[in-house]
Amino acid sequence: MKTRFILNPYSGRNRRRPWLAGAIRDFISAQGLEADLVITEAPGHATSLASEAANAGCTFVVAVGGDGTMNETAQALVGTPTALAMVPCGSGNGLALHLGLPRSLRRALELATGTGGRIAAVDTGTANGLPFFNVMGLGLDAEVSRRFNALTRRGLPAYVRTALGVVRDRRDESVCVTCHGQVETLDVLLLAVANSDQYGNHARIAPGGRADDGLLDLVAVRPVGLAGAAELAARLFLGNFDRSSLVRRWRGRRFVINRLSPGIIHTDGETFATSAAIEVIVHPGSLRVLVPMQSRMAVAPLVPALTGLGLQTP
């Protein structure tokens, strides 16, 4: 059973842990694993490293980093027999928390050996061909991601401060959403499409959402001021976000979102420029993921190579 660990040394907590690479190598040696550790050197590097591992027949590829590292790694594993494992070290760790993965470094490394877990099949999404595995979004979502990624010190408090600053500064956006033949036009502060139930840090944008149900959850938030934003922020952590009168939620396999002009979107927290029209599609059960034995995710059959998903590598 071959395993590759991919470490992003600049992701989240990893910036403050220069000893982490040595600790992982010591763990590999102590466990007698048939494994190697490689370190990313630039954006997109994790995708090529994961592709090499999948082509070499690795059973697991372990993303040691945050949501961005997870996204880059998972891109190369969609539709392959190689399973994604995660050692969550980022600011949010949305998909990892949704799947019930441990946040303790030791426990996460132990799970990544494959001996105490099982393989689940989870859905993936694309937005204009750009892959996402947890959440994509536009409006406030994307602008917060753009500003947050420029910070040298991150974490939940920094994210909240950034979000409140964006609420104060930005203008609303008009969008037209098409789902299952139904069309609705509305002004929004933000629009998110979630594969899991949360952004990260247990902030649940789509309460009850699952990464293995073959559906995505589109959540649109109507314009709101700072006081209303504070209430909605509290709802994120109380698990009743979608019960607010300011929130509109759809569930579906495909959405078309039209806005007035091109702009940025984010996919798992990384921002990209794209067209005014955004097509969001779910690809059911297309990624194999290593999860704890008690995880609620469905057991994965062997997934054959998939074609025609239109995935793009940014």
Domains of the chain: 2-123+286-292 (3.40.50.10330), 130-282 (2.60.200.40)
pLDDT, residue 156, reads 61
Say if residue 115's pLDDT is above 70.
yes
Phi, psi for 269 (deg, rounded to 5): 90, -5
Cβ neighbour number for residue 312 with a 10 Å cutoff: 13
Phi, psi for 68 (deg, rounded to 5): -65, -45
pLDDT, residue 308, reads 36
Residue 159's SS3 state is helix
The predicted-structure confidence for 224-277, as pLDDT tens digits, reads as follows 877 888 899 899 999 999 999 999 999 999 999 999 999 999 999 899 999 999
Residue 55's SS3 state is helix
Tell me what the mean pLDDT of segment 202-207 comes to. Answer: 95
Query: CA angle 44-25-201, nearest 5°?
Result: 55
Say if residue 303's pLDDT is above 80.
no
User: Containing H/E element for 56?
Assistant: none
- Which strands form 190-194's sheet, in the order they lie side by side? 247-252, 216-221, 190-194, 135-139, 263-267, 270-274
Task: Compute the Cα dihedral for 211, 37, 72, 271 and give only its sign.
Answer: positive
pLDDT, residue 226, reads 76
CA distance 71 to 52: 16
CB 30 within 8 A of CB 88: no
- Considering only residues 5 and 171, tell me which one the structure prediction assigns the higher pLDDT: 5
Tell me what the mean pLDDT of segment 88-104 comes to. Answer: 92
Kindly report the average pLDDT of the chain as a whole number.
88
Q: What is the 8-class DSSP label of residue 66?
A: S
Task: Compute the Cα dihedral for 30, 119, 237, 89 and give only its sign.
Answer: positive
CA distance 109 to 111: 5
Contacts with 20 (C-beta within 8 Å, 6 or more apart), sequence order: 7, 9, 14, 64, 89, 105
- Considering only residues 311 and 173, tell me which one the structure prediction assigns the higher pLDDT: 173
pLDDT grade, residue 309 (50/70/90)? very low
